[in-house]
Amino acid sequence: MSTETNLNGADTDTTAFLGMTNRIIGPTGHTDGSLSVVEITVPPGVGAPPHTNQREALTWYVIEGELTFFEGQTPTTRTAGELIFSPAGAPHTFLNQGDREARALMICTPGGFEGFLADAGHALPAEAPDGPPEQAHVQIMVRLGAEYGLQFHLAQ
């Protein structure tokens, strides 16, 4: 069991893909696998494609700006200081519909999802695409997602 309880940021890994920046501030290796914590920065008009995390429940805490979350067809907008929870197996997506950058903490339980963020950040372009992502990039996301229990719900 790890006895480390004080992370100072020296072990963080920051990657970017699809216009979002992900800074892993609480890696799974420091929590005995129980959780991981990621600070995500989302520019206006940017968000994630519809997907399902089969393994992890996600808790989001908005630090600044606003994010709109969709589970099914129902949108829920959260602003600074607010929280939203998405259970494992629930199809969802999120989008920054505001006019300024949003930052949030994403707490994944159990840990491990940060591996997808790191791998995708190394394999995909950092910039947000103009329109739908290129098919080659979609294939990379789907392949990496399958390795991490992540299912994308993309129109073919």
Across 107-119, average pLDDT: 95
Provide the pLDDT confidence category of residue 1 given band limits of 50, 70 and 90: very low
For residue 132, give the amino acid letter: P
145's CB contacts (< 8 A; 6+ apart) are 51, 116, 151, 152
Half-sphere exposure of 62 (CA within 13 A, CB side): 23
For residue 15, what pLDDT is reported?
Answer: 92
DSSP 37-90: EEEEEE-TT-BPPSEEESS-EEEEEEEESEEEEEETTEEEEEETT-EEEE-TT-
CATH topology of domain 13-152: Jelly Rolls (2.60.120)
Domain range summary for the chain, segments of one domain joined by +: 13-152
User: Above 80 in pLDDT, residue 2?
Assistant: no
User: Above 60 in pLDDT, residue 61?
Assistant: yes
pTM of the model: 0.88
